[in-house]
Amino acid sequence: MSDIYFTLQSNGAKIKLSDNGDGTYSEATSVIGFGPSGITPVTGTFNGLGTSLTLTPRAMRSFNISLWGTFVGTVVLERSFDGGNTWLPVTSVSCYSFSAPISTSFEDGEYGNQYRFRCSSYTSGTINYRISQ
């Protein structure tokens, strides 16, 4: 029995198909290392109300959201399905409104969605942010 590995040229992911021992192979059992996304991270600070620039992550790959600093305020993660005309809070993560530092990641399976942070309330301090893949 011998497993098969192949690499996707589009993103460098290595896919593993496991040998079933009877001349057939299972569905992909693991994806190893997607390589760099080639997408420039969105970084910046809030010192008042406002929105960040947007990031359009590659579909089916996790991306990172981070907020840090000493601040009193609230930041909402938002998503647009229509090229930035309409923005909705991302409620699929356990908490989409942040009032303290956080760093987490999640995945979106739909191609072309955009993400941004919106500082919805601000009292003091500096809120640093990063959205990256």
The answer to whether residues 1 and 24 belong to one domain is: yes
The answer to whether residues 19 and 53 belong to one domain is: no
The answer to whether residues 68 and 118 belong to one domain is: yes
The tally of domains found in the chain comes to: 2
pLDDT of residue 106: 81
Domain that holds residue 51: 42-132
The answer to whether residues 73 and 106 belong to one domain is: yes
The answer to whether residues 59 and 120 belong to one domain is: yes
How many Å apart are CA 64 and CA 106, to the nearest integer? 7
52 to 89, 109, 110, 123: CA distances (angstroms): 14, 22, 21, 18
The answer to whether residues 47 and 31 belong to one domain is: no
Q: Which CATH number fits the domain that encloses residue 53? A: 2.60.120.260
The answer to whether residues 72 and 14 belong to one domain is: no
The answer to whether residues 49 and 29 belong to one domain is: no
How many Å apart are CA 22 and CA 77, to the nearest integer? 48
pLDDT of residue 9: 47
The answer to whether residues 2 and 59 belong to one domain is: no
pLDDT in tens, the chain (133 residues): 565 555 544 445 555 556 677 766 565 544 545 556 678 899 999 999 999 999 999 887 888 999 999 999 999 999 999 999 999 998 865 567 889 999 998 888 888 999 999 999 999 999 999 999 8
Q: Are 46 and 122 in contact (CB under 8 A)?
A: yes
The answer to whether residues 5 and 58 belong to one domain is: no
The answer to whether residues 20 and 54 belong to one domain is: no
The answer to whether residues 49 and 111 belong to one domain is: yes
How many Å apart are CA 9 and CA 132, to the nearest integer? 22
